[in-house]
Amino acid sequence: MRSTTRRPLDNSIVPILEIAADLVGGTVAPDAYQRIVAGIRRVIPCDSIVMLRLQGDSLVPVASEGLVPEAASQRFVIAEHPRLAQILRVRRPVRIDDELLPDPFDGLIAADQPLGRVHACMGCTLVVNGELLGVLAVDALDPHAFDAIDDELVAAVAGLAAAAMRASDLIDQLGREAARADRVARDLVRDTTTRAGGELLGQSTSIAELRDEVSLAGRSDLAVLITGETGVGKEVVARAIHAASARSDRPLIYVNCAALPESIAESELFGHVRGAFTGATEHRAGKFEVADGGSLFLDENGELPLSIQPKLLRALQSGEIQRVGSDKLLRVDVRIIAATNRDLPVEVALGRFRADLFHRLSVYPIRVPALRDHRDDISLLAGFFLDEARMRLGLGRVRLTATAREALERCDWPGNVRELQHTILRAALRASGGRRRELVVIDVPHLGLPPAALPEVLPVVASAPDDLADAHHPRLLLTDAVEQLKRRWILLAVDEAHGNWAEAARMLGLDRGNLHRLAHRLGVAR
């Protein structure tokens, strides 16, 4: 083994630049390796050249010139080829002139005679950042073919070949990871839709009309604004629209606008570059980029800060976004689905929401009915939530008594479907008593409903407030009497809780927010 320093060939610079250009612009092409070995052969005149990748205890050709075709499919076990082992032991160009060592390419050079031997052999390891990737091997039948070749030139072209191999490996790895991520995303979309209830449950006329609206909206890419009271199932409608669209196999990205602090809202939606602000230590894609090709669900969009609304409007109008701290525009293909329980025209009139953004979001408005407007579906929904309770709590069969079912159907459900769901889950837990895998029967006491919803409400009315029970009191419609009783029960509970509305809500079996909304609707002062 010997190493010498010689004057580089004058005509070597052009092929090296061409190899570098291939490395920069063409490493993903199938013939990139082949172009690189062809360029190296122009720099180093030889009878054969081969790039070999290290795989375990073997070297495998990835590209070659001058070898017979069958050489491309051979594996060269390092232990069986001392010349290759000698090249691998060092990190610099190696010339091997020991004729006692067999050459791995004897008989494989296309220009060789059947019984001819390789007379000149030179090689260099392919190393990037200390990682050994493989070997570049060059052979010639002329014993003096490489006498004028400088070791630094060999090291330079080997470095370019190593960089090409590393770049190609990284691109292949990224491709595999992207394909895997795509498969995972598709599976998650299907799984989330199934588990989270992508289907609109109900047999009432209003739900049938809602299904028709969803189906119609799904067939387009128009922006959809879903409105309705808290808890009616706006997110379920959004998932159903996405599932009915041509983007159903792409992600539906969720953004809770109410939970976005103004200071990070722009970054969360549009992303940022490293150094854009304190704490921005790396580039980060925003929700618009993540949703590219799919749908973006802006839940509670009525809560968006006014400062972010113009930038959102620009993104909707042009399909272009700009990361915080960057001057580069990025194009995205995103279908917008928005939802709010606010009355946006009122918000616009009050100056809290931009009129142009409202019109851009509400190209196709869909209103989800309150549960009290389709009471016929309560039993069906209750059955769905009973099954959910069984699975989530690890119970046996779960069922309602007739009186419990009647109580559910009587309730006004100011918290709508979500309140019904939580009521069923709580009731199942109470009724189970910690028992598993046994039949669980939910009765009225387990529901924790307000008194007005209970089947025994009429006797309560008869013995309740004097202004209702007085025989000389003007006759009231049943609905009016119930409304008055609700007001009285709320006031009594608040009085007993010494003005603590959270405690009053617990006493009445309501969520605090639902109690506030019910009190506001009934005109009970707070």
Helix (H, G, I), strand (E, B) or coil at 198: coil
61 or 174: which carries more pLDDT confidence? 61
Instruction: At 357, list the tokens.
Output: 């953004």
Indicate if the pLDDT at residue 138 is higher than 70. Answer: yes
Per residue in 469-481, pLDDT (tens digit) is 444 445 555 666 6
Q: Give me the pLDDT at residue 526, please.
A: 57
Q: How far apart are CA 117 and CA 140, in angstroms?
A: 9
The region of weakest confidence among 35-44, 299-308, 388-397, 458-467 is 458-467
Q: Give me the pLDDT at residue 479, please.
A: 62
Stretch 133-144: mean pLDDT: 90
Domains of the chain listed by start with CATH number: 10-172 (3.30.450.40), 197-369 (3.40.50.300), 373-449 (1.10.8.60), 461-526 (1.10.10)
- The band of 26, judged by pLDDT with boundaries at 50, 70 and 90, is very low
Q: Closest by alpha carbon to 303, among 258, 362, 256?
A: 258
Indicate if the pLDDT at residue 22 is higher than 60. Answer: no
Going by their DSSP bridges, the two strands 131-140 and 120-128 should be labelled as antiparallel
Stretch 128-141: mean pLDDT: 91
Q: Give me the pLDDT at residue 366, please.
A: 96
Q: Give me the pLDDT at residue 125, please.
A: 94
Helices 13-25 and 151-196 meet at what angle, rounded to 10? 10
Rg (CA), the chain: 37
Q: Are 67 and 108 in contact (CB under 8 A)?
A: yes
Stretch 281-303: mean pLDDT: 90
Stretch 117-122: mean pLDDT: 81
Indicate if the pLDDT at residue 21 is higher than 80. Answer: no
Helix (H, G, I), strand (E, B) or coil at 132: strand
- Name the percent of the chain lying above pLDDT 90: 34
Q: Give me the pLDDT at residue 334, please.
A: 94
Stretch 384-398: mean pLDDT: 89
Q: Give me the pLDDT at residue 205, please.
A: 92
Q: Give me the pLDDT at residue 17, please.
A: 55
- When mean pLDDT is compared over 34-43, 110-119, 328-337, 506-515, the highest value belongs to 328-337
The region of weakest confidence among 218-232, 266-280, 454-468 is 454-468
Provide DSSP, 282-300. S-EE-HHHHTTTSEEEEET
336 or 161: which carries more pLDDT confidence? 336
Indicate if the pLDDT at residue 459 is higher than 80. Answer: no
Indicate if the pLDDT at residue 228 is higher than 90. Answer: yes
Q: Give me the pLDDT at residue 7, please.
A: 45
Stretch 8-12: mean pLDDT: 50
Indicate if the pLDDT at residue 460 is higher than 50. Answer: no
480: which residues sit within 8 A by CB, 6+ positions away? none
- When mean pLDDT is compared over 32-46, 184-198, 235-249, 448-462, the highest value belongs to 235-249
Q: Give me the pLDDT at residue 471, please.
A: 44
Looking at the DSSP bridge assignments, the partners of residue 255 are 298
Indicate if the pLDDT at residue 186 is higher than 70. Answer: no
Going by their DSSP bridges, the two strands 94-96 and 120-128 should be labelled as antiparallel
Q: How far apart are CA 340 and CA 367, in angstroms?
A: 10
Indicate if the pLDDT at residue 300 is higher than 70. Answer: yes
Q: Give me the pLDDT at residue 508, please.
A: 77
315 or 470: which carries more pLDDT confidence? 315
Q: Give me the pLDDT at residue 25, please.
A: 52
- Name the percent of the chain lying above pLDDT 70: 82
Indicate if the pLDDT at residue 255 is higher than 60. Answer: yes
Indicate if the pLDDT at residue 167 is higher than 60. Answer: yes
Indicate if the pLDDT at residue 181 is higher than 80. Answer: no
Instruction: At 336, list the tokens.
Output: 């917008």
Helix (H, G, I), strand (E, B) or coil at 271: strand
Instruction: Determine which helix (DSSP H) or strand (DSSP E) holds 65, and give its type and residue range.
Output: strand 58-65
Indicate if the pLDDT at residue 517 is higher than 50. Answer: yes
Q: Give me the pLDDT at residue 78, please.
A: 92
* Mean pLDDT of all residues belonging to the chain: 82
- The band of 464, judged by pLDDT with boundaries at 50, 70 and 90, is very low
Q: Closest by alpha carbon to 445, among 432, 470, 427, 463?
A: 427
496: which residues sit within 8 A by CB, 6+ positions away? 504, 507
Indicate if the pLDDT at residue 160 is higher than 80. Answer: yes
The region of weakest confidence among 13-22, 64-73, 432-441 is 13-22
**Burial readout 376-395 (b: 16 or more C-beta within 10 A, e: otherwise):** ebbeebbbbbbebbbeeeeb
- Cα–Cα distance list, 423 to 35, 142, 390, 507 (Å): 69, 89, 14, 14
